Chain A
Amino acid sequence: MSGGINSFRHDQTGYERPTLGWKCGRSANWNMPCKHGPSAGGVCGGQNACAPVRSGEAWQCRRPAADGGPCATGPGADGSCGSRRPPCVPRRTLAVWRGRLSILAIGAVLALVALLAHRTDRTSGAPTSLDPGPLSSAHSHFAGTALCATCHTAFGHGTTGWWQAFWSPAALMPAGKQDGDIAAHRLSAACTECHSFGGHELQPHNRIFEKRADLGPTDCLMCHTEHKGQLSQITTLSQTQCQTCHTRAIKDFATDHPPFPAKFPYDHTQAITFDHANHFNKYFSNPQMKDQVPPGGCVGCHVVGDGGRALQPAKFETTCANCHADSITKKDFILFRWPQLDDDIIKPDEIAKACGTPLPPPPDPSKPEPAFSAVSSDPLNLISAYLLNVSANKSAEYDKPVQDLARAMMKDGADPLVDAVKDRLSAGKVENLFAGLDGEQVRQAACIWAGNQEYSQPGQTSVAGWRADDLDLRYTHPSHADPVLKAWIEAIAAQPVPTNDDAAAARLIRARREMLSYTDGPGQCTKCHAVSGARGGPLTVSWQVQLGTPPAQTHFDHRPHLDLLGPEKTCTSCHRLADSVLSVENTGLKGIALSTCAECHAAGKVRDNCQTCHVYHQGHAFRKRMMQDAM
């Protein structure tokens, strides 16, 4: 026995070399190994007990002392060892087997990778060494026949393509996207083949922030990663991702989010002016009006079924008409009113000739000619004054133009009036303005007015539409949303105020005021329909309910809230009635404060992350190409 681990004597123990590739075959069979051990090439080194050395003419045995010293037989005459043993079969050491197994493992991996690399049709379900995992359900059907090349431009370009793509993200860009920021992002460029945005694809929020020139370009992969499985939510972002740029730490919506504007969400011009508080507190609660109030509270007027960002009110006929239909039709639109004249300049023979009426008997020369007494005691109405561009109150100024108009109307009916309107109103289609106007009736009325008399319309006088009556040419609108009246209001409102003629400007403003007055104007339209526009510029009347532009990158959907809160307390949970002081934009509602939302959207309650209300992209849409590919 060797004597244990501490025995290291050159003449007693061997020199173990565990890192060598071979070990003695005898040792492998649990026999006494030779002292020499195998060679580096795996040849048995123990056949000869020693290598005899020539000393003069004789050979001397050199068997080590550990093996018993020089042997009795001694070397042969040819110098061969006299103590030979059969050779052993050296065996590989453990280190070699471990190396071999490692190489085998590497080879197996490489073989599998190579074997499965060509199976590129992932739709077949066959395993492939290119498989990065299933696409999200949103993208899983877009591979089509182009397979991975739909997004990965390096796919299908062979070894050269792989080599190029490996070293340069900008290599193998889609056609037309080799320049600009997009050229540095191969996959982003592929994304924008199908996805389009309201602004630049690679700008934060697809917008240019002029005050943040330090913001660099973005790319899709910063937030969106694919191949995470069909159920993966690749559009869901985390709070921390938003705070990559938005450095104000918002860990909790209720406490960290900036407060909403005081008028939120009514901080835009309301197309329809409706004082909710006044209606609910004053009218809807009045027992005498209970039959006229739309049933169901808020949902009596707002169409819940449409949901979405805003709940649009239902039609006028089903909501407001119960109370307001009569007042709308109460006031006619008077286009022309025969005014009080100082002098009668249209001669009776002129009237008789134009109108075919008999000449009046000649005046008795013996009697003094009676003084002229005008049939009308009213001034010229403001619309006519504007159209004729004369003062409404100075008869000396409007006498001649009015009688010239009447003289022309006696001959040509409504045409001179239409021409006057064309000259003065640049906006509005004449056919809309004068729809239903009877030119002959206008001519007859002009004949009567020219004769300093009141016109009396034959037959029924209360029919809606254009008609001449007494001294007026008026339009009776039959109902809400009458197209003729709307056209006149739009046309008058759209006239820009002249800047070089103060008198003309004043006439237009007065005419506008008459048309747009919510107390005396025809139809009282502006009582509900908002008028907008810059002072002195053209005005616009909002006929349809319009949503204000939502704050950038925000969204809101009423539907989940309605379902959640239930019908009884749905609306007023958030939209609270205001007193007159707190009313926002005449809505009769208080602005919605952040704390209102935070009653539910808070830690431990309903989710309150950024994406609940905010969207990153602006104007996201799909390109036509995508649909073509999908078809």
Chain B
Amino acid sequence: MRAVNRSSLPVWIVTSIAAVGIVYWHASPKLAYADRDFTTGYVLLGLMVFLALYNGRKKLSMLPLGKASTWLTLHLAGGVLALVIFRLHVGSLWPIGLMHRALAALFYAVCISGVIGYGLQLWLSRRLAQAGNEIIFERIPAEIAAIRAQAEKAVLKAAEDSGNDTLGRDYLQSLAWYFAQPRFFWSCAMGGFGRRSENWLQRNLHTIGRYLSEAERAHLDELSRLGAEKRRVDVQYAMQSLLKRWTMFHVPLAAAMLTLAVWHLILVQVFAQ
């Protein structure tokens, strides 16, 4: 994913022109203070409502409301425009007054979480493509369960073939933990595609291998292959988790900010005229 691709260029050009136009308009001597504040305030609120509609668009995917990528571009451009208008509306980076500061703090929190989220999208989407073996997030538990079933089947087969349970006991003591669920989350998400996970697996397999018979060691290779497969699933899980979970901050913060903005609007309408 690129930050600005060719199809989104017109949107960014229009946004830039709008931002410059608004700054120029705001500096116009024809405007009084009150008119400036009221106008920028209402425009900003309208823009924030539009930005919030992006979340609704995802819930109404059955309706022909345009492509999600178009909405994302509009969401990003609108966010940048909102920052410009917010600065003009407030007149400074940090306003005065408890309510104003609370509102500004929420606005900045939403902006920062949005920037972080978009950054994650840009970065992790590339990493996901590099990692390969992309899996739908909701299917990952089934994938892990399937790998785990194959690993346990291999261990049972080793016991049958060799007539001893060394591999079985070692599996239960160490490898079962690894195959139970996604492990080494941050290594998989941020590091070198789960290198820590791979090191851990190889170290344990090597340790176990020293005590196995020849018949059992043949099945150890199968466990090694399944472990590598599990690690790739873990990488997918960690990255997709981050991509989904940053919205756990962004959306509630935006909801709180919009609520406080409506309260601000009420106070302004009632008291500031």
Residues of A within 8 A of B (CB): 1-2, 4-5, 13-14, 16, 18-19, 23, 26-33, 94, 97-98, 101-106, 108-110, 113, 127-134, 148, 152, 154-155, 162, 165-167, 169, 185-187, 219, 221-225, 227-229, 232, 240-244
Give the residue of B61, B97, B253 whose beta carbon is less than 8 angstroms from that of A134.
B97
Contacts A23-B138, A106-B256 hold; do A32 and B146 have CB atoms under 8 A apart?
Answer: yes
Inter-chain contact B145/A16, CB cutoff 8 Å: no
Task: Give me 18 A-to-B residue pairs in the complex whose CB atoms sit less than 8 angstroms apart, sorted by A's number.
Answer: A1-B146, A4-B133, A5-B136, A18-B138, A19-B61, A27-B141, A98-B247, A101-B251, A105-B252, A113-B263, A127-B98, A132-B267, A132-B271, A219-B34, A223-B32, A223-B33, A229-B96, A240-B27
Partner of B180, one of A30, A33, A104, A241: A30
- Is the pair A129, B263 in contact by a Cβ cutoff of 8 Å? yes
A225 shortest CB reach to chain B, Å: 5
Dominant secondary structure of chain A at its interface with chain B: loop
Q: B116 an interface residue at 8 Å Cβ cutoff?
A: no
In the bound assembly, the distance between CA atoms of A348 and B180 in angstroms comes to 154
B29: which of A132, A154, A227, A244 is its contact (CB, 8 Å)?
A244
A33-B142, A133-B98 given; name 9 further pairs at CB < 8 Å: A23-B138, A27-B138, A31-B145, A129-B99, A132-B99, A162-B270, A225-B34, A241-B33, A244-B31
Q: By the criterion CB–CB under 8 Å, are A32 and B252 in contact?
A: no
Q: Mark B155-186, 1 if CB is under 8 A from A, else 0.
A: 00000000000000000000000001110000
Contacts of B181 on A, CB cut-off 8 Å?
Answer: 30
- Contact of A131 with B269 in the complex, beta carbons under 8 Å: no
List A contacts of B148 (CB < 8 A).
30
Contacts of A105 in B (CB 8 A): 252-253, 255-256, 259
Binary A-proximity of B241-264 (CB < 8 A = 1, otherwise 0): 000110110011111100110010
Q: Specify which chain B residues have a CB less than 8 angstroms from the CB of A155 in the assembled complex.
A: 271
B198 in the interface, Cβ–Cβ < 8 Å? no
Chain A contacts for B142, CB-based, 8 A: 2, 14, 27, 32-33
Looking at the assembled complex, report how far the CB atom of A544 sits from the nearest CB atom of chain B, in whole angstroms.
43
Known contacts being A109-B256, A134-B96, is A102 close to B251, with CB within 8 Å? yes
Contacts of B98 in A (CB 8 A): 127-129, 131, 133
B273 at the interface (CB under 8 A from A): yes
Flag if B271 contacts A5 (CB, 8 Å): no
The 9 closest A-B pairs by CB, nearest first: A133-B97, A222-B32, A133-B96, A105-B256, A221-B34, A169-B273, A243-B29, A102-B255, A16-B138
Contact status of A224 and B33, CB under 8 A, knowing A1-B143, A4-B134: yes
Nearest Cβ distance between residue B144 and chain A, in whole angstroms?
5
Known: A18-B137, A94-B244, A187-B273. A130 touches B267 (CB 8 A): yes
Q: Are A109 and B259 in contact (CB under 8 A)?
A: yes
Partner of B33, one of A31, A106, A222, A232: A222
Q: Which residue of B lies closest to A228 (CB)?
A: B96
A16, B139: Cβ atoms closer than 8 Å? yes
Partner of B269, one of A98, A165, A187: A165
Number of chain B residues close to chain A: CB under 8 A: 59
**CB closest residue in chain B, given A131:** B98
Contact of B135 among A2, A113, A152 (CB under 8 A): A2
Question: Are A241 and B29 in contact, with the CB atoms below 8 A?
Answer: yes
Is the C-beta of B2 less than 8 angstroms from some C-beta in chain A? no
A244 and B32: CB pair below 8 A? yes
Q: Decide yes or no: A109 and B260 within 8 Å by CB, A23-B138, A132-B271, A154-B270 being known contacts.
A: yes
Q: Is A186 touching B27 in the complex (CB atoms < 8 A)?
A: no
Contact B27 A133 (CB under 8 A): no
Docked complex Cα distance between A599 and B247 (Å): 60
- Smallest beta-carbon distance B110→chain A, Å: 11
Q: Which residues from chain B sit less than 8 Å from chain A, CB to CB?
A: 27-35, 37, 58-59, 61, 95-100, 133-139, 141-149, 180-182, 229, 244-245, 247-248, 251-256, 259-260, 263, 266-267, 269-273
The interface residues of chain B lying within 8 Å CB-to-CB of A128 are 98
CA distance A221 to B59 in the complex (A): 43
A619 to chain B, nearest CB (A): 22
Residues of chain A contacted by B34 (CB below 8 angstroms): 219, 221-222, 225
Interface of B is mostly: helix
Q: What is the CB-to-nearest-CB distance from B69 to chain A, in angstroms, rounded to a whole number?
A: 18
Which residue in B145, B256, B271 is a CB contact (below 8 Å) of A148? B271
Say yes or no: A30 contacts B144, CB within 8 Å. yes
**Which residues of chain A come closer than 8 Å to B244, judged between CB atoms?**
94
Chain B residues with CB below 8 A from A102, complex form: 251-252, 254-255
- Distance in angstroms from A94 CB to nearest chain B CB is 6
**Chain A residues near B30 (CB-CB < 8 A):** 244
Q: Please, how many angstroms separate the alpha-carbon atoms of A332 and B150 in the complex?
A: 136
Closest A residue to B248 using CB positions: A98
Beyond A1-B143, A98-B252, A244-B31, whether A166 also contacts B270 by CB under 8 A is yes
How many angstroms between the C-alpha atoms of A470 and B253 in the bound complex? 107
Which B residues are in CB contact (< 8 Å) with A16? Answer: 136, 138-139
Residues in B neighbouring A19, C-beta threshold 8 A: 58-59, 61
Question: Which residue on A lies nearest to B181, using beta carbons?
Answer: A30
Cα–Cα distance between A1 and B33 once the two chains are bound (Å)? 65
Contacts of B33 in A (CB 8 A): 221-225, 241
Closest chain B CB from A412 CB (angstroms): 76
Q: How far is the CA of A169 from the CA of B59 in the complex (A)?
A: 39
A128 to B147: give the CA distance in the assembly, Å: 57
Residues of A within 8 A of B260 (CB): 109, 113
CB distance from B102 to the nearest CB of A (A): 8
Point out the residues of chain B lying under 8 angstroms from A4, CB to CB: 133-135
Contacts of A98 in B (CB 8 A): 247-248, 251-252
Collect the chain A residues with CB atoms within 8 Å of residue B180's CB: 30
Give B212 Cβ to nearest chain A Cβ, in Å.
26
Could you say which residues of chain A place their CB within 8 Å of the CB of B267? Answer: 130, 132
- Asked if A131 contacts B99 (CB within 8 A), the reply is yes
- Measured CB to CB, the nearest residue on chain B to A245 is B29
Tell me the bound Cα distance from A166 to B253 in angstroms: 27
Chain B contacts for A129, CB-based, 8 A: 98-99, 263
CB distance from A104 to the nearest CB of B (A): 7
The residue of chain B having its C-beta at the shortest distance from the C-beta of A19 within the complex is B59
CA of A131 to CA of B266 in the docked complex: distance in angstroms? 13
Q: Which residues on A sit within 8 Å (CB–CB) of B259?
A: 105-106, 109-110
B266's nearest neighbour on chain A, judged by CB, is A166
Q: How far is the CB of A323 from chain B (nearest CB, A)?
A: 55
- Chain A residues lying within 8 Å of B99, measured Cβ to Cβ, are 129-132
